[in-house]
Each structure stands twice: as C-alpha cells, then as structure tokens.
C-alpha cells in the first residue's frame, strides 16, 4: 500500500511538473481516425467517419452517414492524427490536409485502404480533401484549437471586444464555399455534428455566440454575412480591423471568426453569401435566422438540398440535389455525377430527373475554362411570378462568365435545359417530374431564351431541340462515316407527358427525325483545291493528354490527311479556331476551354509558343496591314492584341464601355484594310465595331431584331468592308449592317419553317454559326448547327438555297479552288468529315447551282503523321477551319511567292 | 419634428432642394409616401436621443447613359444633439447621379435616416425595385435593403412613386469605410454591378473629436488633405475625391489621374466590386495593413472587401491593378504630386 501510494504521488508530481513546464506538449493527444470514401445517391463522393479514438478520451458525436462536408475533426495544437481511409467508391481517392499533412499522400484505389499522418503545429481551421477532385464532395475541416480553450474574440453591440472561450459557444458552423454552393455542417454545444448540406438556412437565438469556420476548395470567393461584423484574423487585439466580408482566394483557404448573433441589430433573417456578383447570380447564398429567445420561434437550422435527398431512384422526405460536373470532356460537358450509372438507361449523361422542390447543382470541377449556367428553355409557368419567387431565378443566368458552379431549386414540373452562353453546345436537361403523374412531365409549354414564349412541348421546335440534345450529348449518337452501320440515335425508352398527353419519346423523335439512317459517304471533290486546310477537330481524343482536341491538316491537292497535331506536351484543350501569320510559317489556334493562344509551325506541326491571352479565347485573326494577332476573349470582355513577332499580349481593346455588361465576343472579323474589328457580342446581342488605331467603339448595333437572346456568334464581311453580317445563333437569322454599323436588314433563316408543325417549304438554317463571305464578295455561306448550309447572295442579301449538312454543322471558311473560284470548307461537330461546297461551280455569278462538291474524312489512318496516338472520337468536333493560302482580300495580297504560286490573277486580286 | 419631416425632408423654404417638396406633394401616392416616412420616424423616435448626430439624407436612384445606374445625393441635413442643424448638401455632387454614389460620412455614435427614391423608368421589367444595402454599421431588419424573397419579412425597396427610408446606426465599433449598394433591382441580387454603389465612412469617435477641434475644420479627417474613394470594378477603377478643407466631393470617373499636394497626407479607401479579384499597387509607396503593424506595398482584394490606407504624397507614381485581366484592361492611372 505504502509503495503504491508513493508511486501514485510520484506520478502525480511528475505529471504536475510536466504540465507546468510543457503545457501544450503534455496535453497533446494522439487521434486515430478511420474514414471511408462513399458514393452518395446522387453520385457525389463523400467522406464518412467510421471511428475516432483519442488518447485524451474525448471525441465529438459524429453523423452516422457520409456527409458533405465530411466529419469536422476538433483537435488541439500539438495533437497528432493518424488517418486510415478505405475507398468504397469507383474512383481512386486520397486524403490531404495542406498545412497539417506530414509525408506524402497516397492514392487509394477502389477497395483499398491507405494511411495518412497529420501534425497540428499551429491553431486554425484547415481543410482536408481529396487531391484529384476535391470540389465534388471529398472535403472537410480540421479545427485546431489553442490548448487554453480560447477562440477568437467577438465585437459586441456596444463596440467592446469580448474575449471568448470555446465552451461559451452556443453553436459552430462549418461552411465550405465550393463552386457556387455553400456546404454546411453544424456542431452543437455538446459537440454533436449535423450535416446541413447545400445552402442551408442556419438558425440561432439572439445573443448566441457562434463560431463560423468558412473554408474554400477550388476557385475563390468572398464571404459576406449581413448585419454582423467581426475581427479580421491576424488583427491586433488593441486596434482590431473590423470587417464583414473576407476573401478566400486559394484552394485550402479558411476564414474563422466569432459573432454574437444579432448583436446591435436584433432578430432577423440575415443573408450570407459569396459577394462575387457571378456567384450571387448563380445561387450562392444562404441565411441565418436569428430569433429572440422568448419569441417561441425555433432556432434550429433548416437542412438544405441533399445528395441523399429526393431524386429519381432515391426516395426521401428531404429535398434532394442532382449534380452536374462541368467538364472539358466532349458530350459530357454537363455530366451528372451519377451519369455512368444512369446512362445505360438514359444514354446521355446529361439528363437528370427530380421531384418538385429538389435542386439542380453544377460544379466547374473538370474545366480550365470559364462558363455560364444559363436557362436555354424552361416551363413557361416557372418564370411567372406566382411560385414564391421562382421568377427571380428563372430564367437562370449570370451577367458574365466565371469559375464556380450554380445551384437552383426547381418547383414547377416540366423540362428545363441549361447551356453555357460561351460554349452553347454544353447542355444539361432536368425533368422536374411530379411523381403523381404517369410518364415524365415535360410540361405543357416552354419558354426559350431567344424570346419564344408558350411553345407547346409537342411542337416540332420543342422536339427538334430534344433531338439535338440527344445527338449532342451522346457520342454514340454522332455520325461516324467510318462505320459500315446506319446512323442510329439512341433515346431513353420512356413515356413523356406533353401538352397533348402521354407519348413515347423515342416513337415521336423517330417518326419526326428518322433513325437507322444509312450514311452514304460522299466522293472527294473532283477539282482539287489549292494548298492546305487546317481543321480544329476539337473533340478528337489522344492518349497522351487528358484534354480533347487535335488539328487535322488536309492536303487539298489530293484530299488526303497530311498531319494530326495534338500537342500533348501542353495538353492542348479544345482547339477552336485558327488563322495563319503573313508568311504562313505559323498557324495560331485558340484553346477555347483554357486561356491560351497556341502558335504552331506550319511545316512541322510543332509547337512554337503557348501564350496566356485571357479566359476561353475563341477566334483569332491577324491584322492584314501589320500582321499583329487579334484574339477574341470569349469568356471576358475584350479583344487582345499581340504585336507581330512577339509572344505577349500588348493591350486589350474593350468590347464595351467601363462598367457595362461584358460583350463576350466570339467570332470576330477584320476589315481588309485592318482598320476595323467587328465582333459578335454574344452576351449583349450586338455587333461591336471598333477602331483598331484608337481602340474606340465606333458603333454597337443590336442584332436579331433586339430579341433578348439572339446570340450573335460570328461575323462575315464584304471584301470592300461595305457590308457586315452577324449570324444570330438563337434567333436563326443573319443581321446585315453597313461598314459603320448602321443596320440594314435582318435575314430570317427560318422563314420557311413552321415551328409547330415542322413543315419546311423552302431553304432554312437552324442555329446559324460561322458565316464568312467569299473573298470576291459574291456569296456568304452559313454553317447551321441544325444541319444546313445556307447560301446567301450578297447582292440581294437573300437566301439562294440550303444544302444538307451534318449534325452540329459549325465552321466555314473559303479557300482557293484550283483554276479559279473558291471552295467553302464546312466542318461538323458531330460528324467526322469535312464537307466541301462549291458555291458557283460554273463561275457565272449565279449561285443557284451551288452544290456540295464532295467530302473528306477527318479520321487519320496509320500512315498519317501524328504527335500523339488517337484514342477515341476520331475526327469528331470539327469547328474552326482555315485554308492556306489565306485568300481573303487584304491578306491574299501579302502572300509570298511560295504561297501565291498556284493562284489565278483573279484570286490574287479578288476585288478588282 | 414629425411634422417638419412630413415629406421625408425638412421643409423650410430656404432649402435648396425645395423642388423635392413640390414633387412630393404632386405625386399621387404622396400621402402613402409621407406616411411611410412618418411611421418610420415615430418608430425610431425613442432611439434618436443618442449622443451623436441625426442625419437626414435623401438619395435618388437614377438611370445613367449606357445601361448604367447611379445614386444621386438630393439632400443631407445634420441635426446635432443641441438642436442645431447644418445643411451639408453642397458638399456633394447634386447635379447628377455619380459612380460611385455620394460618399456618406458619419461619426461613431451617429444615426442616419436615408430616404431612397426610385427615379427611373418604372415600366422596365424587373426594375421596379431599388434599394440601399449597407455593410458594417448596425441596422435592424427594416433596413437590410433586401427583398422578402431573402429576408422573409418584406421588400425593402424604393419603388416607383414610393420611397423607402433606411436607418443606419453608426454604433460604437463600426468605425471604418464600408460599401453600400443596391440589393433588389432586377432580382434578389440587385444591380450593384451596374453602378449602384457608394461608400460610407464612419469616423471613429476619436477622429471625429480631433476633426472638430482642429484648426482647419477638417471634414473627413484632420490628418489627411484628400480622401480618395476607389471602387475596383471588373474593368476599371471608379474614383471619387473628397477635399478635406472644404468637404467637397468630386466624382472623377474611371481610371482618372489623381493629384495631391507634395508632403500632404492622402487616404485611399479601396473597395472591390464585381466578380474579379484584384491586386492593387502604388509603386514606390508603402503603407500599413490595417489592424496590423505590417508595412505592405500591394494588396489583394476580393469583391466588397475594403482596404484603407494613408500615404504621404512625396513623389508621383501610378496606381495600378496588376491582376492579369485588370492589367490588360488598363486598370491604372497617374498619381501626380503638385507643389
């Protein structure tokens, strides 16, 4: 007994002395945390806490399910954490906590378990997350507190700074700002954790002390909470910097502060939101309900939309959430997080189904570009002001392109289609289905972004858009001219409810647009062209890079492929449009889903330079007089200029005045004298005329008859600059202006189309895109997404005829035909061939005999030189196209003798 | 007092803005309008006996050329605790709406009642609402300036023919520079990116005392000659200058040259707004990062963050935003030192 007592006493003494000398060290604990990575019902991955044991014996009460954000780990400075992670998802996952991690972070393959070690040296809140795709849901917080129990002081209503201990807190909130969504969790006073999911409504009693842990993974944010203020972390206690908005500018950034709820302002429902205007517009807001303690009102938080909530195939009482990953990957640009699981039935990965009251969510986690999330069409009723404020959100749109995501609750049954204004073939469809009805509810009528209202869902235009959706978003629905089989379009085998009742979706679409159509390959053109044609085969994938896109070089002397250029060393991403320099030693291409302009050596196909120019650059042209490079920055608000012979942007020419909505110019054109740039401003629905020398705006002319979403996308111009054409993608028209921007007329390309019955009684062009004018000024051709090539006589500005094109018909440019005249080269996004149009085969100036001269495959066989192995989608994604020699007036005169050699005198001087 | 404010504004005849009184009376909804003001004043009459001043401010929200909007100062009366009142309207630009809008200067302890009038085309769809949402200072749930869709209480907007009065309480602990902006035009996010923004400067009690006793009757701060309110938009700086000797505000437009007299102190109030992040620099100058002892020469700012610093004007330089897009878009201007 005596000796035991002595030992006890001695041990106590040692512990006491140690505690005095090394307080932090002595209390340091070791935590063993066992996690798994799970897949939630909507396809998003999430961390789940399986067990947490601590050498100091105290662990919080964790949620029993996998949650977003993952479990919040509370530890103290000096603690160590051993993490064991088992991967129960279908993809490799990992765990890292920058600032805390020691050693490397191993990747756990599906089914594998890996271990990680963390050391908490300094206090703060740290994000832990998956390294590869953290924005999708694999993220959580580790709170490292001071061992003395102090948290940040708060500012009281009378201005006093009050020091605070964690034990005084009523609640803590963890809010992850990811994409354009808040993901929340609440930690109660007794340490119990509750997931609050997406954009929850927080709750608190007035005068509750609350600590917020705001964290971000992915693109940055600023956090703002209405009616409250707090001390900026890092401030001195004596003269603190009081703020109410704070930046989270990097991956892993965090911002922690304490407030007294409602102090100085009283009860209320106070918004908290990201203060980036684009993120506000994309739905990034939540609220905190501060209620008086004696009011009888609940101070409980209200859970937001949940990946485990009510969505198709997952019954739940909670509001659900479907998530689309925004991607640079062809067809799956808006890809449901559970697209792989759904697509055996839906074929597309871009269709989701939810009950009313659930939400749709987008996260730009797999893209290097900027985008918008914009309603293309929606149930007419959803835009009306009688659904508790839905009309504030629908049509859904943002003023400018951005990095982030979007979140939107949908209450009205029917069909919603979203697109990106910058890349208007990115589609996601959501059917809000009333479970009480038999068949999927498409609603009675839809409204379109282009201003069409109350269009019956059984109309030809509505079903044509659905057909376009299923062709665009499913690669196996694309026209493969190397396949011996007929062109088969797969649709989900479902009944849908439209204005005329329940119908079979595939039966209607097959009856209206055909199926199992045999593709007859066209012969090559009989008359050769001059030189080369370079095609941006934007969707073709190669083995050596993660991003899609190649350039296909066609030799027009014999219509064979000369080269494939993938540039794996720069992971070239969605090359979109090209133009050569003056001596044709270099061809420039834009990377539309990135921020670079890439210069390629014409002779070898090798990389010359790769220059940052701005977000989502679309088109490139040179100034004919100086050879300076001009690039339309489609994701922003300017044309940037790179002086000839240099590799740095010199200055930018703004497409609008200061403070105005960005123009987001797409396919510009330049006058033959190099003095004027004309841009189609897709965001502001106008053609902008700019003076190159002084950078001033000459005119901005509304196109598409001022319709709200005309979406001018490409400019064509007469060689003498006397007339300018703007193709309006969503208005199905071409607007004609004079060289100073005065409006002349609008050419309606769907005059001969009845959108209800679908009757077509003349030439049409649905969804017109590139629309160049021939170098001699006689003809304009318009490649139309809907599958037509429209031939327009520039003397009368009227449609002469329309020729059949492939799905996603997109690019057009002229090159010299051997012996005189011009070919119009036409590309298609969803077929793998180049179509060659001869607008005037006999050269008599009468365009009525315009015809398709032939076609050339864009699929390379083994003999074609390439810098990377073609892995899939061979030859697909034809967009920008340019012919060398460049025979447009203003440029053709500058050709060197090597490139002008094969041209006729007339081709060398197209305007006599 | 209530009667005097029957139309949301002092009605003595000598007031330069007597036209306001007339327009108020000619409005068909004038009665409802005054009732709203009256009700608010009654509601707050118990709390106006604070130590500070009571500011009665009238602001118009107006349309500007080029699809932009702006706030215009219509009148600002300061009622001091001793009952005297000073009309400081002539310090502002009153001839037109400006971007940024008027810089409102309060002292810690002051209260401001700000009546906002909707003065643009009421027939434009989705533009029936316009509001003032302020950062930093105290306000109760009547004055958040948000829509009912957000606050679950009411639409706190000026609408055509009906003004709205917001009460801002520059309570102790709210000293600093804060943004104010619209939150309600077009939708629940407002049109802050279309020009409807401005700055509120709350002078600390200490600074306010110093200013009152200083020999040159400084209007913002006795320690600085000029204040520059600098909004960093996505494509330009929008600047306003306040001369401390006169209190006079001058809207400078976008990316203007700034001038300062050699060896005087000038203060920058930076507020970012829009979607982009910025990196502000003033080459060859350095300053104290607020709340710290750190000397810095550049500052990264995200939308609606503020950053206030003072420098002694010793040599000409150039203010600039060196973020990639900002640099290309020409976000810079001269800082010129005069003798």
pLDDT above 90 coverage of chain A, percent: 91
Give the model's pLDDT for residue B290: 96
A835 interface with B at CB cutoff 8 Å: no
Tell me the C-alpha distance between A653 and A633, whole Å.
10
All residues of chain A having their beta carbon less than 8 Å from the beta carbon of residue B175 are 242
Q: Which of B152, B174, B235, B330 to probe the A interface (max A CBs under 10 A)?
A: B235
Task: Please indicate whether, in this complex, the C-beta atoms of B149 and A244 are within 8 angstroms of each other.
Answer: no
User: Is A242 within 8 Å of B328 when comparing Cβ atoms?
Assistant: no
Report d(CA A175, CA A216) in Å as an integer.
Answer: 8
Cα B286 versus chain centre, distance: 26
CB contact A612 to B (< 8 Å): yes
Domain B218-339, classified CATH 2.60.40.420, yes or no: yes
Spatial separation of the C-alpha atoms in residues A216 and A279, rounded to whole Å: 13
Q: Which pLDDT does position A7 carry in this prediction?
A: 53
Mean model confidence pLDDT for chain A: 95
Q: Helices B18-26 and B30-44 sit at what angle, rounded to 10 degrees?
A: 120
**Superfamily per CATH, domain B1-213:** Cupredoxins -  blue copper proteins (2.60.40.420)
Among A101-115, A454-468, A747-761, A894-908, the range scoring the smallest mean pLDDT is A101-115
Confidence (pLDDT) at A28: 87
Q: Which of A454, A479, A508 is the last residue of a domain?
A: A454
A699: β partners: A689
In a domain, A478, yes or no: no
Q: How confident is the model at residue A391 (pLDDT cuts 50, 70, 90)?
A: confident
Integer-rounded Cα radius of gyration of chain A? 31
Q: Which of residues 153-182 of A touch B (CB under 8 A)?
A: 155-160
Q: Distance from first CA to last CA of chain A, Å, rounded?
A: 118
Asked whether the beta carbons of A891 and A873 are under 8 A apart, the reply is: no
CA geometry: angle A499, A503, A506, nearest 5 deg: 125
The verdict on A403 touching B (C-beta cutoff 8 Å) is no
pLDDT higher than 80, residue A819: yes
Cα A170 → chain centroid: 40
Please give the average per-residue pLDDT across A726-742, as a whole number.
97
pLDDT at position B39 is 43
Residue A65 and residue A153 share a domain: yes
Q: What does the pLDDT read at residue A388?
A: 66
CB contact under 8 Å between A229 and B330, yes or no, is no
Give the pLDDT confidence of A332-375 residue by residue, as tens digits. 999 999 999 999 999 999 999 999 999 999 999 999 999 999 99
Residue B24 Cα distances to B11, B33, B116, B166, angstroms:
11, 8, 13, 18
CB count in 10 Å sphere of residue A469: 22
A394 pLDDT above the threshold of 60:
yes
Mapped to the 3 state alphabet, what secondary structure does A643-688 carry?
A: CCCCCCCCEEEECCCCCCCCCCECECEECCCCCEEEEEECCCCEEE
Rounded to the nearest 10 degrees, how much is the dihedral formed by the CA atoms of A63, A67, A68, A69?
Answer: 40
Residue A759 near chain B (CB below 8 Å): no
Is B146 part of the contact surface with chain A (CB cutoff 8 Å)? yes
Q: Where are the domains of chain B?
A: 1-213, 218-339
Nearest Cα of chain B lies from the Cα of A371 at a distance, in angstroms, of 13
**Which of B133, B149, B328 has its CB closest to that of A649?**
B328
Q: Among A827, A823, A229, A337, which Cα is nearest to A538's? A: A827
More confident: A298 or B28: A298
CA–CA separation, A680 vs A724, rounded Å? 11
What's the order of all strands across the beta sheet hosting A596-601?
A575-580, A586-591, A596-601, A607-612
Per DSSP bridges, beta strands A495-498 and A440-441 are parallel
Whole-angstrom Cα distance, residue B280 to residue A32? 45
Looking at the fold, whether A284 and A359 belong to one and the same domain comes out as no
pLDDT at B218: 65
Distance CA A284, CA A834 (A): 43
pLDDT band at A22 (very low <50, low <70, confident <90, very high): very low
Q: A338 and A420: one domain? A: yes
Contact A660 B133 (CB under 8 A): no
Half-sphere exposure (Cβ direction) of B256: Cα atoms closer than 13 Å = 17
Confidence of residue A2 (pLDDT cuts 50, 70, 90): very low
Nearest CA in chain A to B154: A269
pLDDT at A10: 53
Q: Say whether residue A278 is in contact with chain B using an 8 A CB cutoff.
A: yes
Q: Are A325 and A363 in contact (CB under 8 A)?
A: yes
Please classify residue A389 by burial: count the beta carbons closer than 10 Å to its beta carbon, then call 0-12 exposed, 13-18 middle and 19+ buried.
middle
Identify which of B67, B238, B304 has the shortest CB distance to residue A245.
B304
Tell me which residue range forms the domain holding A783.
532-902
Buried b (16+ CB within 10 A) or exposed e, B226-257: bbbbbbbbbbbbbbbbbebeebebebbebbbe
For residue A286 the two structure tokens come to: 């939540």
A with B: how many residue pairs have Cβ under 8 Å apart? 181
Partners of A657 on chain B (C-beta within 8 Å) are 66
Q: Tokens standing for A771? A: 């629309």
Mutation site, A203, A227, A259, A287, interface B, largest B CB count within 10 A? A227
Say what percent of chain B tops pLDDT 70: 83
> Which residues of chain B are within 8 Å of residue A270 when distances are taken between CB atoms?
144, 151
Preceding peptide of B100 cis, ω within 30°:
yes
Radius of gyration of chain B (CA): 20
The Cα A463–Cα A429 span in angstroms is: 13
Pairing of strands A209-217, A171-178: parallel
Cα–Cα distance measured from residue A73 to residue A87, given in angstroms and rounded to the nearest whole number = 19
Between CA A773 and CA A796 the distance in angstroms is 14
Place of tokens 């996952």: A93
Assess whether A749 and A662 both reside in one domain.
Answer: yes
Tell me if A525 is assigned to some domain. no
* Whether pLDDT at B3 is above 50: no
For B74-122, write each residue's pLDDT tens digit. 999 999 999 999 999 999 999 999 999 999 999 999 999 999 999 988 6
> Phi and psi at residue A453, in whole multiples of 5°?
-120, 150
Give, as one character, the DSSP assignment of residue A513: H
Q: Give CA angle at A387 (A386, A389), nearest 5°.
A: 95
Residues 68-87 of B with CB under 8 A from A: 68
Which residues of chain A lie closer than 8 angstroms to B187, CB-CB? Answer: 281, 392-393
Cα A305 to Cα A908: distance, rounded to the nearest angstrom:
64
Look at residue A9 in the predicted model and tell me its pLDDT. 52
Shortest CA distance to A406 belongs to which of A375, A449, A448, A443? A375
The dihedral sign for the CA sequence A635, A640, A642, A648: negative
Instruction: Give B-chain residues touching A285 at CB under 8 angstroms.
Output: 150
Strands B237-243 and B226-232: antiparallel
* In a domain? residue A848: yes
SS3 A486: coil
Within this chain, domains B1-213 and B218-339 share the same CATH topology: yes
pLDDT reading at A556 higher than 70: yes
Residue A651 near chain B (CB below 8 Å)? yes
* Residue A1 scores a pLDDT above 60: no
- Which pLDDT tens digit goes with each residue over A198-213? 999 999 999 999 999 9
For residue B223, pLDDT over 90 is answered with no
Which residue in chain A is spatially nearest to B299 when comparing CA positions? A247
User: What is the Cα–Cα distance from B97 to B101, expressed in whole angstroms?
Assistant: 7
Q: Average the pLDDT over each of A151-165, B12-26, B193-207, B305-319 and give the range with the smallest value.
A: B12-26
Residue A698, H or E segment? strand A697-702
Residues A291, A297 contacting (CB under 8 angstroms): yes
Q: Quick one: closest CA in A to B323, which residue? A: A614
Q: How many domains does chain A have?
A: 3
A145: number of Cβ within 10 Å: 19
Residue A654 near chain B (CB below 8 Å):
yes
**Residue A280 contacts B where some CB pair is shorter than 8 Å:** yes
Query: Residues A219, A340: one domain?
Result: no
Kindly identify which residue of chain A lies nearest to residue B237, measuring between CA atoms: A658
pLDDT at B19: 37
Q: What pLDDT, on a 0 to 100 scale, did the predictor assign at position A237? A: 82
- 3-state SS class at A125: strand
Across the interface, whether the CB atoms of A658 and B193 are under 8 A apart is answered no
Report the C-alpha gap between A378 and A414 in whole angstroms: 7
Q: Contacts of residue A236 in chain B, CB cutoff 8 Å? A: 291-293
Question: Residues A720, A867: one domain?
Answer: yes
H helices of A552-675, in order, are: none
ipTM of the complex, rounded to two decimals: 0.94
The kind and range of the H/E element at A10 are helix A2-21
- Given A404, A435, A454, the domain boundary residue is A454
Q: What angle, 0 to 180 degrees and rounded to 10, lies between the N-to-C axes of helices A505-513 and A460-472?
A: 100
Q: A349 and A277, same structural domain?
A: no
Residue A330 is part of a domain; what is its CATH number? Answer: 2.60.40.420
Q: Do B151 and A638 touch (CB under 8 A)?
A: no
Q: Which residues contact A3 (CB under 8 A, 6 or more apart)?
A: none
Residues A271, A325, single domain; the answer is no
Residue partners of B22: CB distance under 8 A and separation at least 6: none
Q: Residues A596, A545: one domain?
A: yes
**What pLDDT does A504 receive?**
98
Of B146, B292, B325, the CB nearest to A271: B146
pLDDT bucket at A384, cuts 50 / 70 / 90: confident
Last residue of a domain, one of A400, A423, A454: A454
In a domain, residue A908? The reply is: no
> Where residue B126 falls among pLDDT bands split at 50, 70, 90?
low
Closest residue by Cα to residue A689 from A636, A698, A703, A661: A698
Any chain A CB within 8 A of the CB of B280? no
Averaged pLDDT, A35-42 = 98
Q: Report pLDDT for B28.
A: 34
Residue A328 sits in the same domain as residue A287: no
């Amino acid at each position: 007994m005596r000796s035991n007592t002595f030992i006890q006493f001695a041990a106590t003494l040692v512990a006491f002395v140690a505690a005095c000398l090394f307080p932090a060290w002595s209390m340091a604990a070791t935590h063993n945390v066992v996690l798994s990575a799970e897949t939630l019902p909507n396809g998003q991955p999430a961390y789940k806490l399986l067990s947490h044991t601590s050498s100091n014996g105290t662990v919080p009460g964790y949620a029993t399910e996998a949650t977003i954000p993952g479990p919040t780990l509370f530890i103290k400075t000096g603690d160590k954490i051993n993490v064991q992670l088992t991967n129960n998802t279908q993809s490799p996952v990992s765990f890292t906590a920058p600032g805390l991690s020691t050693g490397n972070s191993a990747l756990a393959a599906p089914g594998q378990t890996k271990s990680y070690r963390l050391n908490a040296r300094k206090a703060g809140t740290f994000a832990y997350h998956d390294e590869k795709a953290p924005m999708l849901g694999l993220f959580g917080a580790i709170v490292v507190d001071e061992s003395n129990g102090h948290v940040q002081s708060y500012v009281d209503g009378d201005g006093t700074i009050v020091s605070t201990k964690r034990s005084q807190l009523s609640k803590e909130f963890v809010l992850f700002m990811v994409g354009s969504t808040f993901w929340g969790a609440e930690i109660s006073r007794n340490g119990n954790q509750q997931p609050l999911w997406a954009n929850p409504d927080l709750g608190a009693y007035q005068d509750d002390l609350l600590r917020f842990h705001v964290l971000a993974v992915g693109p940055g944010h600023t956090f703002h909470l209405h009616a409250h203020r707090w001390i900026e972390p890092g401030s001195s206690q004596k003269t603190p910097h009081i703020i109410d908005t704070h930046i989270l500018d990097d991956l892993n950034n965090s911002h922690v502060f304490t407030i007294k709820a409602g102090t100085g302002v009283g009860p209320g429902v106070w918004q908290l939101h990201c203060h980036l205007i684009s993120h506000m517009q994309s739905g990034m807001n939540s609220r905190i309900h501060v209620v008086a303690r004696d009011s009888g009102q609940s101070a409980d938080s209200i859970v937001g939309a949940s990946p485990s909530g009510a969505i198709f195939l997952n019954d739940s009482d909670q509001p659900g959430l479907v998530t689309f990953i925004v991607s640079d990957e062809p067809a799956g640009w808006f890809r449901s997080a559970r697209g792989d699981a759904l697509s055996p039935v839906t074929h597309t990965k871009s269709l989701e189904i939810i009950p009313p009251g659930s939400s749709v969510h987008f996260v730009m986690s797999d893209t290097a570009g900027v985008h918008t999330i914009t309603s293309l069409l929606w149930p007419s009723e959803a835009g009306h002001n009688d659904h508790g404020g839905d009309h504030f959100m629908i049509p859904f749109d943002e003023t400018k392109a951005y990095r982030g995501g979007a979140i939107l609750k949908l209450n009205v049954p029917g069909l919603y289609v979203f697109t990106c204004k910058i890349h208007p073939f990115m589609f996601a469809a959501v059917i809000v289905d009333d479970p009480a009805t038999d068949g999927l509810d498409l609603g009675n009528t839809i409204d379109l972004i282009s201003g069409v209202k109350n269009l019956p869902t059984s109309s030809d235009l509505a079903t044509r858009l659905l057909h376009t959706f299923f062709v665009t978003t499913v690669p196996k629905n694309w026209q493969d001219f190397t396949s011996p089989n007929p062109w088969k379009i797969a649709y989900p085998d479902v009944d849908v409810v439209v204005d005329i009742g329940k119908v079979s979706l595939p039966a209607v679409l097959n009856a209206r647009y055909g199926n199992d159509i045999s593709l007859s390959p066209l012969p090559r053109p009989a008359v050769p062209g001059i030189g080369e044609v370079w095609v941006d085969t934007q969707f073709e994938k190669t083995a050596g890079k993660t991003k899609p896109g190649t350039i296909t070089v066609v030799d027009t002397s014999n219509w064979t492929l000369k080269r494939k250029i993938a540039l794996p060393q720069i992971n070239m991403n969605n090359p979109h449009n090209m133009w050569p320099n003056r001596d044709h030693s270099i061809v420039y291409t834009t990377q539309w889903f990135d921020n670079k302009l890439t210069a390629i050596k014409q002779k070898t196909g090798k990389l010359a330079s790769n220059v940052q120019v701005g977000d989502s650059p679309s088109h490139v042209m040179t100034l004919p007089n100086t050879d300076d490079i001009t690039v339309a920055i489609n994701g922003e608000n300017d044309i940037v200029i790179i002086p000839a012979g240099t590799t740095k942007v010199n200055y930018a020419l703004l497409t609008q005045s200061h403070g105005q909505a960005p123009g987001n110019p797409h396919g510009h054109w330049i006058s033959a004298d190099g003095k004027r740039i004309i841009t189609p401003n897709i965001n502001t629905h106008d053609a902008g005329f700019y003076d190159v020398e002084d950078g001033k705006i000459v005119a901005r002319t509304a196109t598409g008859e001022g319709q709200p979403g005309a979406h001018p996308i490409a400019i064509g111009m007469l060689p003498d600059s006397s007339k300018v054409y703007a193709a309006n993608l969503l208005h199905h028209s071409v607007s004609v202006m004079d060289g100073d921007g005065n409006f002349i007329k609008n050419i309606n390309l769907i005059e001969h189309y009845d959108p209800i019955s679908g009757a077509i009684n003349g030439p049409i062009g649905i969804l017109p895109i590139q629309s160049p004018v021939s170098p001699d000024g006689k003809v304009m051709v318009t490649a139309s997404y809907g599958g037509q090539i429209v031939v327009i006589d520039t003397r009368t500005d009227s449609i002469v005829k329309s020729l059949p094109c492939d799905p996603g018909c997109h690019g057009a440019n002229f090159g010299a035909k051997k012996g005189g005249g011009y070919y119009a080269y036409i590309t298609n996004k969803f077929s793998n061939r180049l179509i060659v149009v001869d607008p005037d085969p006999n050269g008599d100036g009468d365009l009525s005999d315009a015809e398709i001269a032939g076609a050339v495959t864009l699929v390379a066989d083994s003999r074609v030189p390439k810098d990377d192995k073609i892995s899939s989608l061979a030859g697909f994604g034809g967009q920008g196209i340019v012919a060398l020699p460049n025979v447009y007036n203003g440029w053709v005169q500058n050709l060197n003798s090597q490139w002008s050699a094969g041209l006729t005198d007339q081709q060398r001087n197209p305007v006599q | 007092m209530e009667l005097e404010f029957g139309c949301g504004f002092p009605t003595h005849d000598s007031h330069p803005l007597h036209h306001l009184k007339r327009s108020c009376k000619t409005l068909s909804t004038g009665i409802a309008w005054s009732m709203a003001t009256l009700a608010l004043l009654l509601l707050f009459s118990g709390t106006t006996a604070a130590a500070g001043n009571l500011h009665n401010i009238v602001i118009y929200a107006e349309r500007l050329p080029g699809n932009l909007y702006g706030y215009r100062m219509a009148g600002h009366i300061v009622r001091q605790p001793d009952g005297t009142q000073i009309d400081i309207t002539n310090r502002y630009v009153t001839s037109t709406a400006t971007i940024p809008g008027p810089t409102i200067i309060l002292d810690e302890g002051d209260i401001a009642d700000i009546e906002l009038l909707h003065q643009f085309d009421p027939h434009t769809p989705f533009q029936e609402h316009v509001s003032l949402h302020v950062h930093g200072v105290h306000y109760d749930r009547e004055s958040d300036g948000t829509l009912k869709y957000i606050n679950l209480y009411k639409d706190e907007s000026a609408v055509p023919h009906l003004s709205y009065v917001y009460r801002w309480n520059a309570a102790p602990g709210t000293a600093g520079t804060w943004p104010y902006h619209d939150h309600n035009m077009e939708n629940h996010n407002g049109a802050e990116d279309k020009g409807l923004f401005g700055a509120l400067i709350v002078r600390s009690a200490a600074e306010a005392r110093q200013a009152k006793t200083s020999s040159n009757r400084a209007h913002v701060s006795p320690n600085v000659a000029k204040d520059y309110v600098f909004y960093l938009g996505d494509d330009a700086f929008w600047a306003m200058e306040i001369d401390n000797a006169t209190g006079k505000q001058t809207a400078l437009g976008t990316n203007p040259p700034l001038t300062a007299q050699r060896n005087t102190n000038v203060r920058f109030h930076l507020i970012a707004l829009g979607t982009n992040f910025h990196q502000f620099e003033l080459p060859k100058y350095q300053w104290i990062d607020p709340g710290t002892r750190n000397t810095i020469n550049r500052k990264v700012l995200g939308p609606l963050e503020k950053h206030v610093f003072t420098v002694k004007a010793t040599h000409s330089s150039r203010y600039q935003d060196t973020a990639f897009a900002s640099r290309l878009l020409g976000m810079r201007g001269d800082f010129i030192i005069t003798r």
